[in-house]
Structures are given as C-alpha cells and as structure tokens.
Amino acid sequence: MEFPFEKKTTLQNTPKIVFLLLLTIIPLYYIHLTQFLWNGFLLSSPSPSSPLDDIDNYNSTSIIKLASSSSSSSPSSPKSLSPSPLPPSLFNGNNNSTAAIARSDNKCNIFKGEWVRNPNAPYYTNTTCFAISDRQNCLKYGRPDTDFLKWRWKPNGCDLPIFNPAHFLELVRGKSMAFVGDSVARNQMQSLICLLSTVEYPKDHSYTPDDKFKNLLYNSYNFTLASFWSPYLVRTEEADPTVNQPAGLTNLYLDKFDKKWTAEIEQFDYVIISAGHWFFHPLILYEGGHIVGCHSCSQKNINDRTTSYGYRKALRTAFRAIIGHDRSDRMVFLRTFSPAHYENGVWNKGGKCGWTKPLKSHETRLEGSNKGLYMAQLKEFKIAKKKWRKRGLKFRLIDTTKAMLMRPDGHPDQYGHPIDDHAYHDCVHWCLPGPIDAWNDFLLQMMKMDGG
C-alpha cells in the first residue's frame, strides 16, 4: 500500500503516520470481525448437482455461436487479489464528477457498447465479501486466471459510472427492493450485497431458513433487500410421478400467480424480475385449467410448444400480478436473459466454457432459443409498459443480454466447487466478483436517471 507521504519520515510527520496506520488497521479488523459474525451465513448452500441449483435435467441445446475459437489456456497458478479502493468522491454521496457521469439525457443507449480494460477492478474480493455462494466463488476453488475481473462496460458515446455504494444507499434510504426469479437473479443480489459491503453489511430478518427467500435489513439506511425464489414466475407443481413421463416434468400454470412472491410484492418500492433458464425443462403448459401444450414432454396428443411460448405467457402473468397493486410510486425492472456459454455439449454431456477474455460485439451473435427468450421479453415489456404508462408506473428494461453474450469468460465453469474431473461445468451463473457487477452499475444509473 502506498501512503500519501514521503518515504523519509520525520518526527513532525509521526502523528499523521499513526493516523493513517489506524485508518488501515481498523478496516482490516472490521473485515475479520464481520467474517466471524457472518460465519458462512447468507445465501450459501451446498454445491448442487447441476448448474441451476437443484435442477437435475437442465437440457438446453442452445450453445452460443462464437466467431472465434476458445481462448488460450490460463496461467497455471492463482494470483492473490486485493480490492481496489473506490475514489473518495464515490463515498460522499455526491457522484458529480463529469468524468464519471454518463449522459442522462436518454440519448445514449447504455446497453450498446464494448467491454474495456479496468485495471482498478475488482472493488471487493471473495475474501472481503462473505455473501458469495461457493458455486460462484471461483477464486476460492482455484481459478488460475484473474484477467476476467479487469473489465468494465463502456457504452458507445458515453460512460457508465462504476457502482457507487454510498449513493445507492442514499437513494434507497427508507425503501425496499426485491429480486424475483431464479438463481441468476439471486446471483445479482449477491453482487449487490458485495458492492454495498464497503459501506455496510445487512442484518438477516428472513422469515424462513430457506436461502431462496431472504429478507435483509441495512439498519443505518432502513433499507430492506429481499429475494423471492420463483424460477418460472408463475404457479407450478410437480407432474404426476406415477405416469410414464420425462424426469423432472413440471406442470406450469401460465395464467396463475405464484403467491410465494405475489402475495408479498406490494410492499416493495423496487422490483427486479429476471428468469428464463428453467423454461428449457420438460413442461406441461396449462391455461384456464386446460393443457394448451408442452415443452420437451414427449407426450402423445399434446402440441409441442417453443421455449419462448411458455416464457412469454408467464411474463405476462407476472406483470399482471404487479400491475394489480395500486402502487404508482413503484419502479419495476425487467432484466433481460443472460445466455449460457456451453461449448462442445450441454452441461451434463461435456459442455465447458474455458474462456479467459471477453469478446468484441462483432464476434458473437444471439441465436436459437436464447434469441427467442430475449425477443419474448422485449415484446412483453413493450406491451406492459404501454399499459402501465397510463398509471404513471416506472417500468424499465435492464437490457444485459448483449453485454453478457460477450462474456463467456465470466462463468465459474469447473471452479464452482472443488476440482473434480467428473463434476459438471457451470456456464450459466457468474463468478463473484465478475462481469455481473455491471448489472448493478446499470441498475443504479437507471435509478439516478429516474430521480431515484
């Protein structure tokens, strides 16, 4: 660590040195104390049998088409990392530096751009943040390369500021935020907790020990942060196991609310909805109490529907659940689908993602069912936004799909668990720290543009 004083020390400088040393020691003490208090608490769970938590049959055949071959092998030995300190201006709640602020006139599309070098990253590590699940703790399990941490998203024609934890917490003071969706949604919430950890850790006020439903409170800001597990966003039930059906077949009621989250959502000021990967599973689709089709169900006399068919109907129902609450002051975000990056097979048939650097925008493209899910989101978002405009609701799209399509290097791959040649490779979730920290850069910037 470099100190802001000359190497030749005089007695006159001694008080200043002591003060600066205290500033160094106290945060280190706080980190170790916090680690002791948390002791593995918060969003950690045993390594799953497949990339999507307890999904045993994730069978998406959509493998991202890449224009160039996989990157060269990584360095053989892991590097030790220290979080880079954020500039002082980011902690005073007044992020007005003209160099940091993106244009707020809505003429710059912050979702179109490239990944550029960021030597100052990361701003937290897997040893300074204790909210990281093992399956996203890539450095803990020996990922040898760290270059994937040294990038930030740069929109074309403007800049996207690095996440400002103090500014965020001031914006949400006295408010509440909920993440609704699957484990990738929870992955973003973990990232947010880690980014905020430089200011404060939350207290657990969850009503259940189930890590899939969390309710956390930032006492100093009276800010509640919650997660609701709903990978299909609508009501589901396990299909009749006595019938000769594919393993893991689920009945999906496309027009019925999932009350595990819809019954609670009215109280939240900010809602971030994101889901998609589970719709690749075998499904029986119901509407109005009747079967309207299925996906990968292998059932006779039932029309086979595309992945995006059920997804679009489920999104429509989820939006209807939120619109039903008379909350014109609520801000709702739909985060778009983040594609997996399996190459040479699906997750349980040899698929891997050993990339170590981002791609350029022209080096990859969205295709197949991944494109279908993304387009379904855009269409339903457009319909819902038109309906909500009359009520004055703020309905926003966090369009992360293209940016994440360019990050095949950001997944845990084989480093989400102890190294085992026979273990699966996770190319669905994202390492922490990692590229999905940019999702919260997007989130905060959109909140600022809307006046919080």
- Tell me the catalytic residues: 183, 426, 429
DSSP assignment string, 226-291: EEEE-TTSEEEEE--TTSS--TT-EEEEEEEE-HHHHTTGGG-SEEEEE--GGGGS-EEEEETTEE
Task: Give the whole-angstrom CA distance, residue 101 versus residue 38.
Answer: 35
Radius of gyration of the chain (CA): 23
Residue for token digits 């085992």? 420
Residue for token digits 């980190």? 31
Q: Which residues pair with residue 155 across a beta bridge?
A: 113
**CA-CA distances (angstroms) from residue 295 to 257, 278, 370, 401?**
20, 11, 15, 23
Contact 131, 202 (CB under 8 A): no
**CA-CA distances (angstroms) from residue 419 to 52, 137, 142?**
18, 13, 8
Residue for token digits 């009276």? 222
Task: Give the whole-angstrom CA distance, residue 103 versus residue 287.
Answer: 44
Nearest-10 Cα torsion for 128, 131, 137, 140: 50
Residue for token digits 């966090």? 398
Contact 163, 153 (CB under 8 A): no
Contact 219, 232 (CB under 8 A): no
